[in-house]
A and B are shown apart, each in its own frame.
Chain A
Amino acid sequence: MKRIFRGRIEKGGKGVSEEDVKEKGGSDSWSAEQWHEVKKGDTLSKIAERYYGDGSLYMKIFEANRNILRDPNLIKVGQKLRIP
């Protein structure tokens, strides 16, 4: 099965990276937005697979984060991505 490793940031990531699922802090106590902090070894497709079960849906995450991402292949450790 062909796997997409879009957005890989570093070589040597071991399996699925540890991820934080958390609400973004702030004054909006009604926000149900989900956020993912990029860890070493993360790719958008891996993140999509974790949240959607399907890595090919990585563009949904990319589109939701166009304000901080220019290229789906380039994500940085520590970036907080909104998971739509």
Chain B
Amino acid sequence: MRKFVLLMVLVIFAAGLTVTGCSKAKGQAEVALKAAEKAISEVKPEAEKIVPDQIKALEATLSGAKEKFGKGDYSAALSDAQAIPGKVKEIVASLNAKKDELAKTWTNLDQGLPKMMEAIKSRVGILSKSKKLPANMTKEKFEEAKSELDNALKDWETAKESFKGGKLAEAVTKGNAVKEKAAQVLQILGMPVPAAAKS
């Protein structure tokens, strides 16, 4: 009888330890998940504009960790969640590098595109006064050039609006599209396409 009581005490003690350990692991996992969630939410607004794939991958890791937590696999959830803040740091580094690159590209576009546009506007203005178009240009081609110039000018304004609104990646994408359009117009007009607009 004494042995049985002793055994029962041991079993209860062991069960208590297990419950305590489990509860501790659950608590740690909960804390780690909250920290991971917070780390992601701090960079997400900017990251999803500039490095969307990387932030999506990290969110998937967080979802996976939450799923493991839900299934009671606290240690796996803890391990996954603890890795997230480090990955967030990597995203921040990547984000900053990309922002620098975009800022340089935008500065380049902002300095160069107006020159291209002015050259095109000047030529279109002169050709509009011409009694006859040059030998290698049809009326249809000239009309196309005028129309594309109008579109490029409008698109450039929207690109500048994006930049003013802090949407750097969007501004650069739009600016590059304007560059391509302007290069096409130059070709239609028989004018040289600047080296910077060829890349």
Partners in one complex: yes
Chain B residues 66-112 with CB under 8 Å of chain A are 111-112
Which residue of B131, B132, B134, B186 contacts A51 across the interface (Cβ within 8 Å)? B134
Asked whether A23 and B127 contact (CB < 8 A) given A30-B112, A31-B115, A32-B120, the answer is no
Contacts of A53 in B (CB 8 A): 127, 130-135, 137
Decide if A52 touches B130 in the complex (CB within 8 Å): yes
Chain B min CB distance to A48 (Å): 9
Q: At the interface with chain A, which of B15-23, B161-169, B188-196?
A: B188-196
A66 close to chain B: CB less than 8 A = no
Decide if B132 touches A23 in the complex (CB within 8 Å): no
Decide if A29 touches B195 in the complex (CB within 8 Å): yes
Decide if B126 touches A21 in the complex (CB within 8 Å): no
In the complex, the chain A residue whose C-beta lies closest to that of B127 is A52
A70 close to chain B: CB less than 8 A = no
CA distance A30 to B107 in the complex (A): 13
Q: Which residues of A contact B (CB under 8 A)?
A: 21-23, 28-34, 50-54, 56-57, 60, 84
Q: 9 closest pairs, A vs B, by CB?
A: A30-B112, A32-B119, A54-B130, A29-B196, A53-B134, A53-B132, A29-B195, A53-B133, A23-B192
Q: List 20 A-B contacts (CB under 8 A).
A: A23-B192, A23-B195, A28-B115, A29-B112, A29-B196, A30-B196, A31-B119, A31-B194, A32-B119, A32-B120, A32-B193, A34-B119, A34-B192, A52-B130, A53-B130, A53-B135, A53-B137, A60-B126, A84-B122, A84-B126
